[in-house]
Amino acid sequence: RAQGIPYAFITNNSTRTPTQYLARLEAFGIAATPQQVITSSAVTAEEIARRFPQGTPFFALGSPNLIDLIAARGYPFDPERAQIVVVGLDRELTYDKLCIAGQRILAGAAFIATNGDATFPLGNGAVAPGAGSLVSAVATMTGRQPYMIGKPAAPMFQTALRYFGVPAAHALMIGDRLDTDILGAQKVGMQSALVLTGVSGADQIQTIAPDGVFADLAELLAAWRSAL
Amino acid sequence: RAQGIPYAFITNNSTRTPTQYLARLEAFGIAATPQQVITSSAVTAEEIARRFPQGTPFFALGSPNLIDLIAARGYPFDPERAQIVVVGLDRELTYDKLCIAGQRILAGAAFIATNGDATFPLGNGAVAPGAGSLVSAVATMTGRQPYMIGKPAAPMFQTALRYFGVPAAHALMIGDRLDTDILGAQKVGMQSALVLTGVSGADQIQTIAPDGVFADLAELLAAWRSAL
């Protein structure tokens, strides 16, 4: 930020709003505005607005936040007539909701997934089922694969690039997961840097090779400064 | 039956009891005793009794019937300490139950699936999520594959063979699905006959080839009589 380089945060987590994220970032001493937080929920709503006529009914397995964001774009939530089915992380999942999602897709509705993350971290080392687990259930029931929004799929990265108005080759993705952050960035032609503070370790770098590897953000910034 | 040949019915459906099945068979004019109806729930309970010490705590996504059958073998239902997790068709599925199942498996519990059927027929052409859809969700969350009980897996067929006390080569499996009934029979070395009254058509016979193909049970019986 001191360099005046624009930045944003992109997250697959579709259960929190940008404002909720800012509080968490602030706890780490990181300043940002809500516009700088790009969630899979927001990108899902944006992709629906780009691909379907306003007024198309939808159904979703997902957080109230996800449903509100889509509805706010002018799409009515209607389980019985849905032409679009969105599957994300839904802590209020029931068998009946799973049934509706699958039945609407089998009846011809589009199948969109917020992301494919298998698990959702609970913070104490424990995990809960992620959006990807629910997506697998619906994919198995219907024999269909979803249009994927979240990392490593392209829409999340493309939305961030549109936000900055820069071509992919001029953008750097910094992430802590090889199979989502780094792979996704490479697929859209962005540069990528892996920081070893999260999920992926240096020993896991094989077919997915980032442009740079750093112990943490401080080391990345130091390398950056000395390169300028 | 008039020939005095012993027979049994084997079904992946784990939501009904044998007695409930008899009522359905009777409606088709077919007589049977509860012992002749082999369900994936009963075989699951039997397999648990064969593989785990009595008293091992278990958790299940499944029907009350499934849970009762396992508990009746001397296994306590205990979500918090489960060392065995059974996943079947559970119309009372919730996110929290899915979470417990995955967490116990990640903590080391055995992962057993009643069957892998993707859908469950509702009878009017519509389908609901089958056990296999729930199994996919748990498999994705945990990165683990289950020990499978239902057709086409071997345990269902082996239980039927034990019931009759005959070797596989002396038994005939009659079924209407190539990918479960016929494939499973072949894997354990049983003869197999496909009847074209159900899911699979004659045009689908390719790599899974039954020993005989019949329009319906009447045609199969006529062929049988003329061969005797």
Q: Is A127 on the interface with B (CB under 8 A)?
A: yes
Candidates A15, A91, A99, A100, partner chain B, best to mutate (most B CBs within 10 A):
A99
Per-residue confidence at A83, pLDDT binned at 50, 70, 90?
very high
Distance from CA of A82 to the nearest CA of B (A): 16
Is residue A1 very low, low, confident or very high in pLDDT (cuts 50, 70, 90)?
low
Q: Which residues of B touch A130 (CB under 8 A)?
A: 141
Interface probe with A: pick from B120, B133, B199, most Cβ of A within 10 Å = B133
Contact yes or no for A95 and B95 at CB 8 A: no
Whether A122 and chain B come into contact, CB under 8 Å, resolves to no
Q: What 3 state SS string does chain B have?
A: CCCCCCCCEEECCCCCCHHHHHHHHHHCCCCCCHHHEEEHHHHHHHHHHHHCCCCCCEEEECCHHHHHHHHCCCCCECCCCCCEEEECCCCCCEHHHHHHHHHHHHCCCEEEECCCCCEEECCCCCEEECHHHHHHHHHHHHCCCCEECCCCCHHHHHHHHHHHCCCHHHCEEEECCHHHHHHHHHHCCCEEEEECCCCCCHHHCCCCCCCEEECCHHHHHHHHHHHC
Contact criterion met (CB < 8 Å) for B136 and A132: no
Q: Are B170 and B187 in contact (CB under 8 A)?
A: no
Mean pLDDT of each 10-residue bin along chain B, 228 residues long: 76 79 79 87 96 98 96 98 98 98 98 95 89 98 97 93 90 91 94 87 88 89 81
The type of residue at B228 is: L
Share of chain A above pLDDT 70, in %: 98
Region A32-57: what's the mean pLDDT?
93
Q: Does B179 touch chain A (CB under 8 A)?
A: no
Q: With contact defined as beta carbons under 8 Å apart, do A24 and A123 qualify? A: no
Judge whether B210 is closer than 8 Å to chain A, CB to CB.
no
CB pairs under 8 A between A and B: 82
Assign domain B9-39+154-227 to its CATH superfamily: HAD superfamily/HAD-like (3.40.50.1000)
Please determine whether the domains at A41-148 and A169-228 fall in the same fold group of CATH. Answer: yes
Q: Which CATH class is domain A169-228?
A: alpha beta
Residue A134 to residue B137, Cβ atoms within 8 A: yes
**Measured between CB atoms, does A118 come within 8 Å of chain B?**
yes
**B20 interfacial to chain A (CB closer than 8 Å):** no
Are A127 and B119 in contact (CB < 8 Å)?
Answer: no
- Per mean pLDDT, which range of A24-28, A80-84, B159-163 is the poorest? A24-28
- Which positions in chain B touch A135 (Cβ < 8 Å)? 140
Interface contact B136-A136, CB threshold 8 A: yes
With a pLDDT cut of 90, the percent of chain A lying above it is 64
CB B98 within 8 A of CB A132: no
- Token pair of A48 as six digits: 């629906």
Asked if B137's CB is within 8 angstroms of A136's CB, the reply is yes
- Whether A141 and chain B come into contact, CB under 8 Å, resolves to yes
Interval A189-217 mean pLDDT: 89
- Is residue A106 less than 8 Å (CB to CB) from chain B? yes
Q: Point out the residue among B90, B95, B140 whose CB comes nearest to the CB of A136.
A: B140
| Domains in chain B: boundaries | 9-39+154-227, 41-148
Contact across the interface for A133 and B102, Cβ inside 8 Å = yes
CA distance A40 to chain B (A): 19
For B62, nearest residue in chain A (alpha carbons): A95
ipTM of model? 0.90
Topology annotation, domain A41-148: Rossmann fold (3.40.50)
Asked if B102 lies within 8 A of A140 by C-beta distance, the reply is no
* A2 band by pLDDT with thresholds 50, 70 and 90: low
pLDDT at res. B1: 55
CB proximity B128 to A under 8 Å: yes
Express each pLDDT in A127-172 by its tens digit: 999 999 999 999 999 999 999 999 999 999 999 899 889 999 999 9
